Amino acid sequence: MSRAWDTIVIGAGHNGLICAQQLANAGHSVLVLEAGATVGGFAANRAFAPGFHAAVGAHLVHQFSDKLSRTLELERHGLRWAARQLATTVISADGQLRIGGGQVDGANAKDVAAWRHLAARLNRFSRFLASINATCPPRLGTASFEDRWSLLKMGLRLRLLGKRDMREFLRVAGMNVYDLATDELADPLLQAALGMDAILGSNFGPRAPGTVLTLLSRRAGESVTRSGYSIPMGGVASLSNALAMAAQAAGVTVRTDAPVAGIVVDNDRVVGVDLIDGERISATRVVSSVDPRQTFLSLLGTQYLDTGFVRRVDHFRQRGITAKMHLALDALPSFNGIQSTQLGDRLLVASSLDHIERAFNASKYGEVSANPVMEITIPSLHDATLAPKGQHVLTAIVNYAAFETRDSLGTARDRLFSNALSALEAVAPGISQRVVAGEMLLPADLERECRITGGHWHHGDLAFDQFMMVRPFPGAAQYDSPIQGLHLCGAGSHPGGGLTGLPGQLAAERIQRSAS
């Protein structure tokens, strides 16, 4: 057995790196073990064609708090920004509109006023949710003063919204975004913009109950930064690399190409991990940033867990239906009605809420969408290092593609790629002739390449029964587990997915309190 560590962190995604850095700053000796060749996980880059680079998953940073960035001194560790505060342009075959800088262009005055009124209200609710997300959720049904005080503070924050907003928050939080958007807005593109923000990366259509919660959760993350939608120089991987540098500066040891085979338990407490190559590494505690199902069922094993807990793990919903497409283009494409200066925006291809719902319907039957909706960026417009000179990279988050498809994986992949190109042709005629290389990563591909069960972008659906003090499920909330010395710090924990860093930060705080 090699050197004993205070803490081993499994996975060098952004949450794992932040947790490791925070624990090292508190005096822990910390080893991070990453199965892949590079850090970052879902927030890493890949060369999908010679000279062309794109983010594996998330291609925009819009929820990483300014305060956390300053605390970690990420700019000192090499983080630079290629673009910040990107506007959002919604595109359909019939028209487009642009939202950014407090302005809405392309809608009539009545629709703009309605949008601003709704956005202001949602922002108030999101700031309330952000204050909840920034703390470790309390346990339910305990006599602990800490947990009762935390519950009381949550109630006080809700009450401080004021009577009208509190009632409105309680009314809309469980709604579906389709009803909210159609109640408040008339313009189909404004409705689509709201719907896309509610469903991206999640296993929901706009009519699914609770999609206002997913919308508010996304906006809660956005409320802690003034940078808006941003692209780091060198791609999203640069954020991961800066986090790794910050962790190493704090004394963390990061090992890549070190896949963990299992978590070692002795006398009902964690004592270390075994690597796939047979090496055993001992530690006082193990913190897993991989998804809960993989942590408990694959790395730990059911022999250490009671039947009820295993059932809760098995019922945790984490089947992704979001794909990622990368295109290498020999020149900059042209989009109908979009000025060249707007091509660097965050582009949404979604004509209406009904368009999004129809795209979602296919996934219910093990199919890929015939007319997918997409969030698109052309990051090479802001960072020329991502593509050869004069050429460009287009990346797209593509909804929807079932995790388990009726057809073979290869057939489903080819079909969705073809369908996505056709959807692009409808708004950017001739773009197919610009494509020199491309790839489509289905949820099953993301599961394999990123080692995320189900290929779910957020390690699990964000729903009321998988939210806050019951995320991921009872017995594993508050970053703890039934096994002494085993903790969680990934997106499957509170407050969920997205490049926020909060699960890693809050897990470190929880571990420090329990260790003191």
| Residue 208: pLDDT over 60 | yes
**Are β-strands 30-33 and 253-255 bridged in parallel, bridged antiparallel, or unpaired?**
parallel
Position 1 confidence tier, pLDDT thresholds 50, 70, 90:
very low
Q: How many CB atoms lie within 10 A of CB 4?
A: 13
pLDDT at 145: 83
Position 405 confidence tier, pLDDT thresholds 50, 70, 90:
confident
86-90, 138-142, 147-151, 187-191: the lowest-pLDDT one = 138-142
Amino acid at 254: V
Mean pLDDT for the stretch of residues 407-435: 96
Percent of the chain whose predicted confidence (pLDDT) is above 90: 89
| Residue 2: pLDDT over 70 | no
Nearest to 497 by CA among 178, 214, 295, 239: 214
pTM: 0.95
Mean pLDDT for the stretch of residues 114-122: 96
pLDDT at 143: 78
Cα 121 → chain centroid = 24
Q: What is the pLDDT of residues 30-42, one digit of tens each?
A: 999 999 999 999 8
pLDDT at 406: 87
| Residue 224: pLDDT over 60 | yes
Per the model's pLDDT, the better-predicted residue between 154 and 444 turns out to be 444
Mean pLDDT for the stretch of residues 361-389: 95
Q: How far apart are CA 22 and CA 204, in angstroms?
A: 34
| Residue 514: pLDDT over 90 | no
Cα 52-348-346 angle, rounded to 5 deg: 55
| Residue 108: pLDDT over 90 | yes
Distance from first CA to last CA of the chain, Å, rounded? Answer: 27
Rounded to the nearest integer, the mean pLDDT of the chain is 94
Mean pLDDT for the stretch of residues 446-465: 93
pLDDT at 462: 93
Percent of the chain whose predicted confidence (pLDDT) is above 70: 99
Exposed, middle or buried, 106 (CB in 10 Å: 0-12/13-18/19+)? middle
Cα 118-495-485 angle, rounded to 5 deg: 175
Q: How far apart are CA 68 and CA 221, in angstroms?
A: 12
Mean pLDDT for the stretch of residues 317-332: 96
| Residue 375: pLDDT over 70 | yes
Position 448 confidence tier, pLDDT thresholds 50, 70, 90:
very high
431 DSSP assignment: G
Q: What is the pLDDT of residues 145-182, one digit of tens each?
A: 888 888 888 888 889 899 999 999 999 999 999 999 99
Nearest to 12 by CA among 498, 479, 489, 514: 489
pLDDT at 144: 82
What are the backbone angles phi and psi of residue 369, rounded to the nearest 5°?
A: -65, 135
pLDDT at 254: 98
Distances (CA, A) of 365 to 35, 144, 401, 465: 33, 46, 10, 24
Structural domains of the chain in order of their starting residue, each with its CATH number: 5-42+237-317+458-515 (3.50.50.60), 110-224 (no CATH)
| Residue 3: pLDDT over 80 | no
Torsion angle of C-alpha atoms 266, 268, 269, 275, degrees rounded to 10: 50
